[in-house]
Amino acid sequence: MNIQDVQQLVDEGVTEISINAQSLADARPRAGRFLVRIAVLTNFLKEIEEELPKYQTLVNAQYAQAINSAIGKGITEKKVEAEANPVYSEAVENKAKLDALRDWVKNYIKIFDHAHLMYRQYSRAE
């Protein structure tokens, strides 16, 4: 599953959260669809969390390489120069983007979990 598929899944889920006469009549299947979305997002979250260590290793390797190639006299000067290294900066940015994606997915899992519970309660009230 790629990010575009996940984005579409989230967008569809967000539109299904709203409560109206049609959604109340459709409560049981909606609760099920939210549960499926949670399962899919949880699987995608697992993929992200498996990738994070690879990104951290890349960040560490790029930092070590940038420190070794830095020209400064002291360690502080070398650190400053290493952090300005474009290859290292790109690795840090890529890891930060993956961290942000992980947090985004976690938040939608929570949102859809609440929607699942809400529609499950509505289906019981029928």
What local confidence, expressed as pLDDT, does residue 13 receive? 96
What average pLDDT does the segment 2-14 reach?
96
- The four Cα atoms 51, 102, 47, 64 give a dihedral, to 10 degrees, of 0
* Structure confidence at residue 92 as a pLDDT band (50, 70, 90): very high
Asked if 95 and 52 count as a contact pair (C-beta separation under 8 A), the reply is: yes
What average pLDDT does the segment 66-88 reach?
87
* Structure confidence at residue 126 as a pLDDT band (50, 70, 90): low
Give, in order, the Cα–Cα distances in Å from 29 to each of 1, 53, 119, 123. 23, 38, 9, 9
Whether residue 124 is predicted with pLDDT greater than 90 in this model: the reply is: no
Alpha-carbon gap, residue 126 to 121, rounded angstroms: 9
Over the Cα atoms of the chain, what is R_g?
A: 22
